[in-house]
Structure 1
C-alpha cells in the first residue's frame, strides 16, 4: 500500500509553504496544515455552536458575536485567496485540472459551512 499525501494535501502544502518552507518546521505543524485532526475541528464546531447559543441569551455577549462574525468574514476571504492560489498553481502547470476540481469541491463545502454559520449568528 503506497504511503504519502494526496493531491489535496499537496496543494495545501504548496500554497501555504510558498517561498517560506520554514513554516512547516515540525511534524505537528504539518499535521495541522493537512487537517489530520478531525476531533479538533469537530470540537471547535461544537464549541462555536455552544458559544453562539449562550451569546444569544446574554445581552453582554455582543462583542463575542461581532468577533465571530468578523472571524467568519475573514475565513470566507481566505477561501477566496485559496481559490486564486490553487488556480494559479494550475495555470503554472504545478497541478492538473483533476486536483483543481477536488480542491475546489472542498473549498465549496467549507464556504457552504461558513455561510450557514453566518446565518446562525
Structure 2
C-alpha cells in the first residue's frame, strides 16, 4: 500500500475519533464539521466526506468492506516487518463494527457509529 493511501486512512480515522470528543464538549455537529473542513488534519481529498457526513449521507464511494481490505493489507505488512500499529488496529476494529451494520456504506459512515456511541456514553456535567 502506498504512503498517500496510508496517510488518507490515518486522516479519516483522526477525524472520526475527534468528532465524539468535540460532541461531548458540547460543540454543535455543524460547527464541528465546518471547523474540521478548515484544518490541516483533513486532506483536501476528504473535504467532500465531511460535507456528505453533515447531511448523514454515507452513499458508498469507497465501501467499508474495501477499507477493511486495506486495513488488512497494512496490518499484514506491519506483521511481516515486525512493526506495531496499535492505532491502525483500533481503527480497523471501528471499521469492522460499522461494516457489520452495513458493509456497503461509505467508509465515512464510521462517523455515525462514533456519534451514536458518544450519545450512549454521555456523562453528566460536573459541578
Q: Structure 2-normalised TM-score?
A: 0.35
The one of the two structures with greater contact order (alpha-carbon pairs below 8 A, sep at least 6) is: 2
> If you compute each CA radius of gyration, which structure gives the higher value, 1 or 2?
1
Structure with more of its chain in helix, by fraction: 1
